[in-house]
Structure 1
Amino acid sequence: MKSFFILSIIALVGTCASPKYTAKIQNLKDSIKIADSSNIMTYANTITARELSILLFQFASKEFEGRKAGEAGEKKAAQFIKAYYQKEGIPSPFGTSNYSQQVPAEFLSKNYSTSENLLAFIEGSTNPEEIVIISAHMDHLGISNNGAIYYGADDDGSGTVALMEMAQAFNQAKKDGHGPKRSIVFLHFTAEEIGKRGSEYYASHPVFPLKNTLVDLNIDMIGRVDNLHKNNDNYIYLIGSDKLSKELHFISEKINNSFFKIDLDYRYNTEQEKNRYYTRSDHYNFASKDIPVIFYFNGEHEDYHQPTDTPDKINYNLLEKRTKLIFATAWQIANQEHRLEIDKKNDILN
């Protein structure tokens, strides 16, 4: 994994980078001070494998019929998520019992019914207008022609329950008087499986102004291990972290190095790689609007887009550790003294 880290730094700084630019990068790294370091792990540790497992065995069950966008199973799944937020006392951004942003049928692909994105919200204490989005898609592939349910436990049940657990952790911090300075939106997208249509709709009809949206930390499959890592499951692929904000990239690395020491694998962090993962999940609809993103991904495995993607195959201890990494990264962005900036607006780099 060290080789991929080194390659990433070379890509960031350049093999012929001037001493002046190298100094600016070092100054940027040095400027990142961990916010509320005594509290990060206190609340990260409320995220547990056991609770993730309980949620995922419910969410990736036959009751929700594969969660195809706009169909009855996905609507039941959305109600399950909403009920969780209401039980936990985590409000809607609309200030009502409505947690949904409707996505009209005409916006979706042919033969799909009206669907919805689902949003929960924790208001910031000092900069509430500045928004940190943590996202995952809740839809999957439904039921096959021969009646097999596509359970989608990893894709993207793992991301869905990670959002729910992170929301609970941030909410507990707020109850204890340690709530985030900036607001956090937990955004569950519909229709990712039919072309990222739910996130595209949100980016075109944002609930919060995009100019105030600092980042999208997007999760799509973080509960399994791909074939490249069978002998070392302590990894996660990061895609997009350095595209628009090098500060975001170095925040991510500092949080990981300080608390988790997961191998951050950047091999897919290029638009030229054959799978084109950078453009394939919901984060891309934010990146295309110049909003920094990180896409967290465990890679494809033999059960990807198969009915065999079931919750018994999830590595829950690994899911817990990866979720904590994302939580702590969001904590830093939400609580540091200055707002996260894109490179062209970052005074240190310009």
Structure 2
Amino acid sequence: MTKILIPLLALTVTASCGTAQTSEGTVPRESSVAKSDKAFLAAYKTIKADELKKNLYVIASDEMGGRDTGSPGQKKAGEYMINYYKALGINPPKALGSYYQKVPAEFMKKRGGGNLPDSENILAFIEGSEKPEEIVVISAHYDHVGTRNGVVYNGADDDGSGTVGVMQIAKAFQEAKKAGHGPKRSILFLHVTGEEHGLFGSEYYTGNPVFPLANTVVDLNIDMIGRDDAANRGKQYVYVIGSEMLSSQLKVINEAANKKTNNLELNYKYDDPADPEQLYYRSDHYNFAKNNVPVAFFFDGIHEDYHKPTDDPDKIDYPLLEKRAQLVFTTAWEIANRPERIVVDKK
């Protein structure tokens, strides 16, 4: 997450489900899930702590050099992500013709990006089966702050955790598609660059969208979901920011998804644009929100290793990362598959 400050529906797929505590966490009881909803349950279960950990130890390794915007290390991380999507059979958007959306150096320089080199957003896409023109965006930034004085800032939580979360959520949707239950609306898995320097990648995407913003239903943005902060040490929680700013339905849907799955504590401390930390403006969802696209930002708080070289993958709470990723997946599943798109009824 950047330090720069810039100015009641039931869950359809699990409405009949109870929940059970297992070694994998809390999941809907399979015996109470309708046959047509078992694809959801099977997909949900593919989001696993061990796979998140495997990918994060690569994304946040010293080999990636801290993933500064446009750096060789960030590009190497991007190649790893693209190979992951290729292995799953998830393609880039046809309209783009590539997994890469170039974010030019000149664009970033004009916005205070100094001498940053050209960089890229990375996009993977699953087309919807019934409403393909309507787009659900699941986003995370894959850049961090690089290497300083010879020390690598690995950014495992910021935002390696969100990056691997999006990758695992993509796998879950693809598994459902392979089982004949792909999402009704299209899903765009959007990994943006330049967040740490000023939300550049998401600003570029929303200014040059591959899909019209008028057809973009929601942005579920994941930025730091692998740790806890001092105020919530040891708790099963996640901060949710912005979910009722533009739509009266999004917060309700997210809370229903949470209740039917892991039942985390949803903390709304920062869910106020007037909050002193100004977190509503400090991650990539904001560039969607200012274009009237409903957003929800999932966040674990500002912990003691934030923007320090000690933000390493061995400090991640992988079971909690799994649960938070499952929550985002379940929320996205409902939004992608409900009969009507969520409303935009607030300003």
Paired letter, 2:82: K
Tell me the TM-score normalised to structure 2 length.
0.88
Hey, what's the Cα distance between the residues in 1 that align with 2:98 and 2:214? 24
- TM-score, scaled to structure 1: 0.88
Letter in 1 for 2:290: S
Residue 168 of structure 1 corresponds to: 171
After TM superposition, the structure 1 = structure 2 runs for residues 233-272 of structure 1, keeping only pairs within 5 Å, are 233-272=235-274
Amino acid across the alignment from 1:125: S
Contact 2:104 2:119 in 1 (8 A): yes
Counterparts of 2:127 and 2:280, CA distance in 1: 29
What corresponds to 1:59 in structure 2? 59
- Percentage identity across aligned positions? 53
Which of residues 274, 289, 292 in structure 1 aligns to 2:276? Answer: 274
Q: Which residue of 2 aligns with 1:71?
A: 71
Contact 2:95 2:210 in 1 (8 A): no
Q: What is the correspondence of 1:62-211 to structure 2 with a 5 Å cutoff? A: 62-94=62-94, 98-108=98-108, 109-144=113-148, 146-211=149-214
- Describe the superposition over 1:205-227 as per-residue Cα deviations: whole angstroms up to 9, x where unpaired: 00100000000000000000100
Between stretches 73-82 and 323-332, larger displacement belongs to 73-82
CA distance in 2, matches of 1:255, 1:179: 18
The Cα of 1:285 is off from its aligned counterpart by: 0.2
Tell me the C-alpha RMSD between the 2 structures.
1.4
Structure 2 counterpart of 1:321 = 323
**What code does the residue aligned with 1:138 have?**
Y
Choose which of 207, 221, 224 in structure 2 pairs with 1:218: 221
Q: How many residues align?
A: 314
Q: CA deviation at 1:95?
A: 6.5
**Distance of 2:117 and 2:257 partners within structure 1:** 41
CA distance in 2, matches of 1:96, 1:325: 29
Partner of 1:9: none
Give 1 or 2: higher helix fraction.
1
Is the 2:139–2:189 Cα contact (8 Å) retained in structure 1?
Answer: yes
* 2:8 maps to 1:34: no
Mapped to 1, the partners of 2:261 and 2:326 lie a distance apart of: 9
Q: Which amino acid in 2 is paired with 1:330? A: A
In the other structure, the counterpart of 1:20 is none
Give the letter for the 2:56 counterpart: L
Q: How much does 1:175 deviate?
A: 0.6
2:33 aligned residue: none
Q: Answer whether contact 2:96 2:210 (CA < 8 A) is retained.
A: no
Change (3 A) 1:205 1:97: closer
Work out whether residues 234 and 318 of structure 1, in 8 Å CA contact, stay in contact via their aligned partners in 2.
yes
Give the secondary structure class of the aligned counterpart of 1:91: coil
Partner SS, residue 65 of structure 2? helix
In structure 2, stretches of 5+ residues that fail to align are 1-7, 14-35
- 2:297 corresponds to which residue? 295
CA distance in 2, matches of 1:143, 1:58: 16
State the AA in 2 paired with 1:171. Answer: Q
Hey, what's the Cα distance between the residues in 1 that align with 2:48 and 2:97? Answer: 28
Equivalent-residue separation in structure 1 for 2:294 and 2:316 (angstroms)? 29
Question: One-letter code of the match for 2:64?
Answer: F
- Give the whole-Å Cα distance in 1 for the aligned partners of 2:123 and 2:105: 19
Q: Deviation digits for residues 198-256 of structure 1, max 9, x if unmatched?
A: 000001000100000000000000000100011x4200000000000010110001111
Report the counterpart of residue 228 of structure 1 in structure 2.
Answer: 231
Which residue of the partner structure matches residue 310 of structure 1?
312
Distance 2:282 2:181 in 1: 35
Conserved in 2, the CA contact under 8 Å of 1:34 and 1:255?
Answer: no
Alpha-carbon distance in 2 for matches of 1:53, 1:258: 25
CA distance in 2, matches of 1:285, 1:155: 19
- What does the per-residue CA deviation read over 1:95-125, in whole Å, with 9 as the maximum and x for residues that have no partner? 7872000001101111000000000000000
Q: Which residue number corresponds to residue 43 of structure 1?
A: 43
Distance apart, 1:41 and its partner CA: 2.7
* Displacement of 1:132: 0.1
For residue 12 of structure 1, what is the aligned residue in structure 2? none
Structure-2 separation of matches of 1:95 and 1:174: 21
For the structure 1 residues 60 and 344, does the alpha-carbon distance in structure 2 shift closer, same or farther, using more than 3 Å as the test?
Answer: closer
Alpha-carbon shift at residue 182 of structure 1 (Å): 0.2
Letter in 2 for 1:157: G
| 8 Å Cα contact 1:224/1:315 also seen in 2 | yes
CA displacement at 1:94 relative to structure 2: 2.8
CA distance in 2, matches of 1:311, 1:32: 36
Deviation of 1:71 after TM superposition, in Å, equals 1.2
